[in-house]
Structure formats: structure tokens, C-alpha cells
Amino acid sequence: MIFITAKFRILPEYADQWPEIAGPFTQATRSEQGCLWFDWSRSLDDPNEYVLVEAFRNSDAGAAHVQSAHFKQAQQTLPPHLAETPRIVNFTIPQDDWSELGEMAVTR
């Protein structure tokens, strides 16, 4: 799978509204056939930073994502709300879902 984590620094005046601003893009991406997950979290250290964790089934699914109409639309509509260019980590890894964190196994 293609595993991506990106950090988005939002302009302070838009930070509280970011989930709604990115909502149409998020929903459209989650509907893509090759999208495994597309999840936003807000930083505990910086209220203007959101972290996006996303995964796509394979490189074809990743390519379809960046070529989609909603991605092209997001390239126009999201940057005016950003304080800087998002930072990204992108890897192809040989798995298709989350693994368990064995070092913190829950046994009840």
C-alpha cells in the first residue's frame, strides 16, 4: 500500500473550521475505490496544525487519487487557508492494513 502522512499548518483564522473546509475533499477521497483510509487529527501541541494519515491500496490507486477532479479542486480551494506548504512523508509498504502494536498489547 501507499502510506502517507502530511502535516497541514492552517492560518489561525481558519483552524477551527478546517474540518468543514476540507470536508468535501475528505468525503470524496474516502469514496475512492482504492482509498484504505483518509483520517485527520488536530495536533495537541499546535492548534493550527492538522495531521492527515492516508493510505491507498497501491500505486495505481494513489495515481488515480492525484488525478481525480476532487484532488484538482482541492489544489485550488485548500491553499488559501494554509500558512505554509504542507509537509509529507510517503512510503510504499508491504501490507494492506494497520498492524498491532505488540509492545502495548491489551490483554483482558
Task: For the chain, give every domain's residue range.
Answer: 2-92
Classify domain 2-92 at the CATH class level.
Answer: alpha beta
State the cell numbers at 49. 496544525
Q: What's the mean pLDDT when you consider all of the chain?
A: 97
Q: Is 101 helix (H, G, I), strand (E, B) or coil?
A: coil
Residue 3, burial from CB neighbour count under 10 angstroms (0-12, 13-18, 19+):
middle
Which whole number is the average pLDDT over 92-99?
Answer: 94
- Output the pTM of the full model: 0.92
The single-letter DSSP state of residue 33 is T
- pLDDT above 90 (res 43): yes
